[in-house]
Amino acid sequence: MEAKTLEAELLQDWHTNGECPEGTIPIVRSPQNRPKRKTSIFSSSIQPGVHLSNNHEYAQVSWLGGNIFGASGRLNVWKPATFNGELSLTQIWVVAGRGTEVNTVEAGWQVYRGANYTRLFIFWTSDGYQRTGCYNLECPGFVQTSHKLTLGGKIVPISRYGGDQFEISIYIHKDKKSGNWWLRIMEIDVGYWPGSIFNKLSDRADYVSWGGEIFNSGSQGRHTSTQMGSGHFAGEGFRKASYVRNLRYVDESRAIKDADPHNLAPLVSRPECYDLQMGNLKNYVPISFMVALDFLTNASKLIAT
């Protein structure tokens, strides 16, 4: 199958009033109302297929090759419905360690209740999501070097069910000389996570993952209706299911290689709600899920600093 896709834009509304000058960067000014991630799929030595009880649910695949120095992929962008202060995202994880020693750098898109659009985001932790790390630029850690892109900013257009599919490209890699983990989005070198903020990722990654995640608050003792991906199951296929394609990793020689689909380890934490399957596009993993009902809206303001 040939996939006809278009690149989404990392919309910078503030560009209508000019751009941030050289030597400054754009940041989201208003506080963002989303749950803090306190646990994750990487917080214990779980195996694929094991049900998780930390209120986070996943549909993802992992490359477990070890001695990894980066990962990349193309993610089509949607606006899934979210409820009860929950969030839904699709992203790439670069991971080292286990338990409270988990180190991650992460990037992708997300939607959460109170937002009326899909946002670009990054995240990191060096102690298994306990005390360190944050989204975007909300704490010291990630060093942004580009003034062209806003972390936490709007992504448009989004994919339409049965229609045009819009993607963003993400590439994370470890610089051999500095030891820093650089982030490139849509061919823009956004900045880097210093190697010095990590203990495990200061050397290399153990594995990388691509896929979707939602937070389930269990409100009123019920499972959430928050969607993952497009809100439709993977079996519906291209133009209807959310997907990640062109899954690649960086090996010890710093060569970028395709992740062999036969060597990818899948994990779906609640198959009756969210599912995953390998599609018939090269390096194509559709990640798509149940339909929900509604969500509210809010907007953020931006300043240059």
Among residues 19, 213, 236, 252, the one annotated as catalytic is 213
**Residue type for 185, please?**
I
CA distance 258 to 160: 28
CA distance 271 to 277: 11
Give catalytic status of residue 106 as yes or no. yes
From the number of C-beta atoms within 10 Å of its C-beta (0-12, 13-18, 19+), residue 17 rates as exposed
List the Cα angle 243/153/246 in 5-degree steps.
25
CA distance 132 to 127: 6
Among residues 57, 86, 106, 167, the one annotated as catalytic is 106
Residue 224 near residue 86 (C-beta atoms within 8 A):
yes
- DSSP readout, 89-147? EEEEEEEE--GGG-EEEEEEEEEETT-SS-EEEEEEESSTTSSS--BTTSSS--EE--S
Give catalytic status of residue 57 as yes or no. no
Task: Count other C-beta atoms under 10 Å from residue 129's C-beta.
Answer: 22
| Residue 246 CA, distance from chain mean position | 15
Residues labelled as active-site residues: 106, 213
